[in-house]
Amino acid sequence: MGESEFDIIEQYFKASKRTPRKDVILSVGDDCAITEHQRNQRIAITTDTMVENIHFLPTVHPADLAYKLVATNLSDLAAMGAEPAWFSLALTLPKIEHQWLEQFSLSFFETLDYYNIDLIGGDTTRGNCHVLTLTAQGILAKGKALCRHSAKVGDWIYVSGYLGDSAAGLSLLLERYKTNNSACLTADSFTSNIEKYLVQRHLRPTPRVLFGLELADSVLANAAIDISDGLLADLGHILKRSHCSAVIDLDTLPISTELLTTVGRAQAENLALTGGEDYELCFSVADNNRQKLERNLNRIGVPYTCIGKLCEAHPQPRIFFHRSGKPVAMQFEQGGFDHFK
Ligand code: ADP
Ligand code: MG
Q: Say how many C-beta atoms besides its own lie within 10 A of residue 79's C-beta.
A: 32
pLDDT score recorded for residue 1: 47
pLDDT at position 280 over 60: yes
pLDDT score recorded for residue 5: 86
Helices (H), the chain: 5-12, 62-80, 98-114, 165-179, 193-203, 209-218, 231-242, 257-274, 290-298
Q: Which amino acid is at 125?
A: T
Residue 30, SS3 per DSSP? strand
The tens digit of pLDDT for each residue in 289-335 reads 999 999 999 999 999 999 999 999 988 999 999 999 999 998 876 55
pLDDT score recorded for residue 16: 82
pLDDT score recorded for residue 336: 61
Calpha distance 74→104 (Å, rounded): 17
The bound ligand whose nearest atom lies closest to the alpha carbon of 5 is 1
Q: Say how many C-beta atoms besides its own lie within 10 A of residue 188's C-beta.
A: 11
Calpha distance 66→105 (Å, rounded): 7
The pTM (predicted TM-score) of the whole model is 0.95
pLDDT at position 338 over 70: no
Nearest atom (ligand 1) to Cα of 123:
20
Ligand 1 mean position to 251 CA, how many Å?
A: 50
Nearest to 120 by CA among 82, 83, 90, 98: 90
The tens digit of pLDDT for each residue in 11-65 reads 999 878 889 999 999 999 999 999 999 999 999 999 999 999 999 999 999 999 9
Q: What percent of the chain has pLDDT over 90?
A: 92
The tens digit of pLDDT for each residue in 178-206 reads 999 999 999 999 999 999 999 999 999 99
CB 20 within 8 A of CB 27: yes
Ligand 1 mean position to 9 CA, how many Å?
A: 7
What are the φ/ψ torsions at residue 247 (nearest 5 degrees)? Answer: -115, 120
Adjacent-strand bridge partners of 245: 311
CB 226 within 8 A of CB 75: yes
Ligand 2 mean position to 134 CA, how many Å?
A: 14
pLDDT at position 271 over 90: yes
Ligand 1 mean position to 277 CA, how many Å?
A: 30
pLDDT at position 133 over 50: yes
Nearest to 56 by CA among 131, 136, 134, 162: 131
Helices 209-218 and 290-298, axial angle in degrees (round to 10): 140
Calpha distance 270→265 (Å, rounded): 9
Nearest atom (ligand 1) to Cα of 30:
14
Residue 15, Ramachandran bin (φ over 0: left; ψ between -120 and 50: alpha; else beta)? beta
Calpha distance 204→323 (Å, rounded): 32
Residue 129, Ramachandran bin (φ over 0: left; ψ between -120 and 50: alpha; else beta)? beta
Calpha distance 206→87 (Å, rounded): 18
Mean predicted confidence (pLDDT) in 207-236: 97
pLDDT score recorded for residue 335: 54
Q: Which residue, judged by its Cα, is nearest atom 7 of ligand 1?
A: 123
pLDDT at position 207 over 80: yes
